[in-house]
Structure 1
């Protein structure tokens, strides 16, 4: 049976961290969550755009480069120093990337879309647990995934996607979005009973900077959703009074369960991905 996300409620007194918030879906979500009363931590790579969104929302700007894990560690320290409570962490940063490795030695797509968000979440997990103990039902970790997950396949011996055909980055991107869902499901298992809920979602095909100059994506954007419409699943997962699907679920737009690759249901792969990710970020 499918369920639909209800409309968002008010967010006064709650702190929301949105990564990738300097443009697109992240910016639209940050603006709407601020209008709902949330204190928004605006996380982005570009200083000018990130500070502009922070000014729009009345929130605070935090700069981070997800191609550098030390930058993610600095971000986590800055967030825990700034906020005694964090109610929502929206891991929204990511996107298509060229083939290659980061300065940390990880595949760029793997690190930008999965590993950096994994590290940020685990570094903030104690603060999230503390907040959940004090404000039950308000603490949520949200992953921006994609319908592209259905084309992904996690190869535990090639997480960096350095072998095999590149296919213009689509294979690696689909796999990274599948990893977002596997991470969500393993996080749900590890935080069961803590008061933390976690969900992933597909925003729909949205007219943002995604895809760069790819001519096929550029053509499709003529028929795409606006960033404001694309942000609705994130906003509702953050602000709805309750989410009508158990922690660990994946929403396609506003409806769960969304369609996933068969591997998304493999608990052993989810647990192994967590352990390998932990090793990568040490």
Structure 2
């Protein structure tokens, strides 16, 4: 097995932490990225000690993260954009002027990937984006990307996870023939802190979803599989996976013109 250098964001907890530990046990070099210094350091204690702290709600910290990764990693075989969250009922604006759900789940990973693209091309690397089955309920409105008109927490989360799939397909279309690829996946309903706060987790009373909830170790299986396998050989790139198999995403996910338009709008947002 080839030893890979794997960067995992959102690695301080949940499936990111579980995947980091599993991949390190397989012999890979893992760089853990998380928002909590103490939690991320604790995970790194099990994965080789390498970690970087970054908060995706602040784009300057994402830029600093990219600079640190470029300085540390001469090769990046896998960039796993796993960080993400759903926020409260009130629409929140970050210091960068973006709706918080959109920025944390989509725009910040887009920025990080853009800044690392040359290194990924040099490395023949791959990008793995953590989406969600919530994408099936999402809708991308080019005239209201950040939901100024019809904000709801789940609507914002679903749209951001759909945007990640469109980004995945467009990245793979642009760079596959040059050696860099991209894939996305749904980890399942995983027992995270968010679910526990909402009473949906193993043993959470009488929640009707409690029997469907996976442990972080089980939720990380598809990420671990994609990170360890050979893109384009062991699995098809540019696709959306569930349980290590290609699944069908939202209809908008296959709209190439929409994906290109979203890419160009995202670049413009980050340059303004």
TM class by smaller structure: over 0.9
Taking only aligned residues, the RMSD between alpha carbons, in angstroms, comes to: 1.5
* Residue in structure 1 matched with residue 115 of structure 2 by the alignment: 123
* Residue in structure 2 matched with residue 182 of structure 1 by the alignment: 166
The 4+ residue runs of structure 1 with deviation greater than 6 A are: none
Kindly state the Cα deviation for residue 160 of structure 1 after the two structures are TM-superposed.
Answer: 1.2
Residue 210 of structure 1 aligns to a residue in which SS? helix
* Unmatched tracts of structure 1, length 5 or more: 1-9, 133-138
* Residue in structure 1 matched with residue 46 of structure 2 by the alignment: 56
Kindly state the Cα deviation for residue 223 of structure 1 after the two structures are TM-superposed.
Answer: 3.9
Kindly state the Cα deviation for residue 244 of structure 1 after the two structures are TM-superposed.
Answer: 4.2
* Residue in structure 2 matched with residue 280 of structure 1 by the alignment: 269
* Residue in structure 1 matched with residue 139 of structure 2 by the alignment: 153
Kindly state the Cα deviation for residue 281 of structure 1 after the two structures are TM-superposed.
Answer: 1.4
TM-score by length of 2: 0.92
2:244 maps to 1:254 = yes
Kindly state the Cα deviation for residue 211 of structure 1 after the two structures are TM-superposed.
Answer: 4.0
Q: Give the direction of change, closer, same or farther, for the CA distance of 1:210–1:221 in structure 2 (3 Å limit).
A: farther
Q: C-alpha separation between the residues in 1 aligned to 2:82 and 2:33?
A: 10
Q: C-alpha separation between the residues in 2 aligned to 1:171 and 1:221?
A: 23
Please say if residues 206 and 221 of structure 1, whose CA atoms lie closer than 8 Å, have aligned partners that are also in contact.
no
* Residue in structure 1 matched with residue 197 of structure 2 by the alignment: 213
How many residues align structurally? 263
Which protein has greater RCO, CA pairs closer than 8 Å, 6+ apart? Answer: 1
User: Pick from 99, 105, 122: which aligns with 1:113?
Assistant: 105
2:148 maps to 1:162 = yes
* Residue in structure 1 matched with residue 220 of structure 2 by the alignment: 231
Please say if residues 66 and 116 of structure 2, whose CA atoms lie closer than 8 Å, have aligned partners that are also in contact.
yes
TM-score by length of 1: 0.89
* Residue in structure 2 matched with residue 195 of structure 1 by the alignment: 179
